[in-house]
Amino acid sequence: MELTPEFKNNLLDLRRQIDEYLLKSAGASYPASLYQPINYFLEFGGKRLRPLLTLLSCKAVGADYRLALPAACAIELLHNFTLVHDDIMDQDSLRRGHPTVHTKWSESVAILTGDGLIGLAYRALMNTPAETLQQVTKIFTEGVIRVCEGQAIDKDFEERQQVSVEEYFDMIQKKTGELIAVSTEIGGIVGQGASAQVKALREFGEAIGRAFQIQDDLLDIVSSEEVLGKDLGSDLAQGKKTYIIIKLKELSSPEEWDNIQTILRQRRIDRPTLEKIKAIMTKNKVIETTVEQIRRDIHSAQNSLSSVFSPAQAEELMQFSLMILHRKY
């Protein structure tokens, strides 16, 4: 299955509408110390994965996607809040090729920028049609809490030697999967889809979210800095427990793992170091195993859809799931 030009053009058009709505949402100017960094960060662009999923999910249940534009943008604003605060906690200096907010301004400014984005997210959400607003606000709020829990668990893992794949899946379900599942679920609800459709959309989102996060972990190691727009190997350097790192430990010999640990203790990952680690990964088929897991998740996402939606209804979301599989950044 190939991405059709119509689909690509359609996505570009939806993205344009999302970006417009986002910048309008953050359109205030006073105080500049709050709204300048908010606008700066939103203008980085980004994939707009979550709001696109909301709009496509709303279309999938047969409704006008414009009904879901406020909620879609609310989710993107919320996602941006998590990025700004995570960048402080992870001390990341680059995001999408630009200095992060706390690097360009200060930690205080970045804390407030994130806080302000939550407020703006809820303000946007309030423009959802009244019939579904209450249900949507509840799901959105549970998403906020879940994302904070996931980030706390992720930070806890950095201090631990041993994290199982099951614990990792639980963590990313909260940290990443939940908000993506909220995106598809809310799209279905705003479009007043049948409850089986909404349930299928949520399951689709959960599986896509998992695939997306594992892909993210993989790209941290195999992508190039220019394409990724952030420090390569930063997960490794911070002691993050990602899928690929957990699998690396599982599939390497004790000697190889000792070797990697010695390298990692230097807490500075340059290119030759990264190449050494990648050689051990290649030998033990860690990358293939990871790609295999991503494929399984995408497949399970597609199955959720096809059990409830007709091929025509599901087509755009199906294409979207393929895009995730093939993304380079």
In the complex, the residues that contact its own copies under the rule CB under 8 A are 30-31, 33-34, 81, 85, 88-89, 107-109, 111-112, 114-116, 118-120, 122-123, 126, 130, 133-134, 137-138, 141-142, 144-145, 148-149, 151-153, 155-156
- Taking each helix axis from N to C end, the angle separating 243-251 and 271-283, rounded to the nearest 10 degrees, works out to 60
Which DSSP letter does residue 329 get?
-
Nearer to its own copies (CB atom), residue 94 or residue 109: 109
Nearer to its own copies (CB atom), residue 134 or residue 262: 134
Closest by alpha carbon to 120, among 209, 205, 42? 42
Q: Are strands 94-95 and 98-99 parallel, antiparallel or unpaired?
A: antiparallel
Q: How far is the CB of 110 from its own copies (least distance, A)?
A: 9
- Taking each helix axis from N to C end, the angle separating 69-90 and 107-125, rounded to the nearest 10 degrees, works out to 160
Q: How far is the CB of 81 from its own copies (least distance, A)?
A: 8
Nearer to its own copies (CB atom), residue 25 or residue 293: 25
Q: How far is the CB of 43 from its own copies (least distance, A)?
A: 19
Q: How far is the CB of 256 from its own copies (least distance, A)?
A: 31
Q: How far is the CB of 179 from its own copies (least distance, A)?
A: 12
Nearer to its own copies (CB atom), residue 31 or residue 311: 31
Nearer to its own copies (CB atom), residue 125 or residue 318: 125
> What's the token pair of residue 156?
């806890």
Burial class (CB in 10 A: 0-12, 13-18, 19+), 45: exposed
> If you write DSSP's letter for every residue of 12-70 in order, what string do you get?
HHHHHHHHHHHHHHT---SSHHHHHHHHHHHTT----HHHHHHHHHHHHTTS-GGGGHH
